[in-house]
Amino acid sequence: MPTGSRHTQTYRLHAYPAKKPHEILRECIETLTDPGDLVLGPFCGSGGTLLVAAMLGRRAIGIDRSPAAVFISQSSLRLPPAKDILTAWSTLRAMVQPHLRPLYATRCHRCNGQALIRYTVIADRLRCGGCKAEFSAEQVHKTGRDKRCPQCSIRLPRRPNRIGTCAIETAADCEDGCRPRSFMRHHDDQNALAAAYFESHDLAKLREVERMTTSAWHPTDRFPQGLKTTELFARGIQNIDEIFTRHNLITLANLRQAIDQLPTPQWEPMLYCLTGAMTSLTLKAQHVERTGRYLPRMYYIPPVRKEWNPLFSIGRIVSQVAKGAEELRASGDSCPEAWVGIGSATDLRMLADSTVDLVFLDPPIQTRFNSQS
């Protein structure tokens, strides 16, 4: 078997938990089937098996119990040409820019010109149980998994006493000619002017947005009780909308509303890109220098996290999807008999006996086993 990669354009089309590298899927399908054979993915997830089968000239059927998985799989199989995806994004940006751009507007401290925030770093505010000092999670002293108070060095509990959040850094782009265009500033920046602009523009903008509401639809359902939601409840997060900052909730709700106004050929690829960027725009986005990461199968909220400007994040996803669409078309991905639907792998009555040439069985990973498993 070849060594798998997570960096191919088709693999990166859409985020999804537990995806299998496409090189491994290709090796299995090429070795065990012939062109025109029928491949079944009974737990199709984001549709990697179906995509690779299509690229190799096989027919494919996928089923999954998740409506989200079926939408992702269907959309991946019928992505339009790259130029149409980029045109749809240009149309959508033009629709939302007048309303959403002001939410991320700031000023450059070097020239006092207009600037646009790319991301804000937000940290938990903590209180030490020993000395009662208050500090941000960024200031915690860390040695491996050992975390200590920056004032008295007492070891902090696994779930420290959180007393709120605070913005500690912004990254933005100057739009009035500064070079380099990009800049960063911190709440205690050594550059006094940068620190002053952080307070008077960046923090002021966040306070302004916190007072805003949106009439655009957004989900407010409660998270279900389960193994994966314990961390959320410990943080006081009960409803789906609470896993977003106010900034991003308003932006995403307005983007979703604008997508519904697009013509059908543009609606599906733009909704596909929006859902592909969704997890990285939640409180799960961990702050890592030059990037942001998250644990895809957990609702872990990192103590220091990035609030990305969705217009930047979704723009990157659009570019990524356009490249993936080009790779699919270059491989001759026409698979008119590919079909994806919501269903259960325990009921395959729609398939006649002896019609399937390969079943790629990739069942959901179990997180708990009894003692006899």
**Each residue's pLDDT tens digit, 31-86:** 999 999 999 999 999 999 999 998 898 999 999 999 999 999 999 999 999 999 99
Three-state secondary structure string covering 10-48: CHHHCCCCCCCCHHHHHHHHHHHCCCCCEEEECCCCCCH
Residue that the structure tokens 């941000």 belong to? 136
Distance CA 209, CA 364 (A): 40
Q: Which residues contact 83 (CB under 8 A, 6 or more apart)?
A: 322
User: Which CATH superfamily does the domain covering 11-81+324-359 fall into?
Assistant: Vaccinia Virus protein VP39 (3.40.50.150)
pLDDT tens readout for residues 155-172: 999 889 999 999 999 999
91: confidence class by pLDDT, cuts 50, 70, 90: very high
DSSP-based three-state secondary structure for 125: strand
Contact 109, 196 (CB under 8 A): yes
What is the chain's mean pLDDT, rounded?
Answer: 90
pTM for the whole structure: 0.89
Query: Is residue 369 predicted with pLDDT exceeding 50?
Result: no
As beta bridge partners, residue 40 has 61, 359
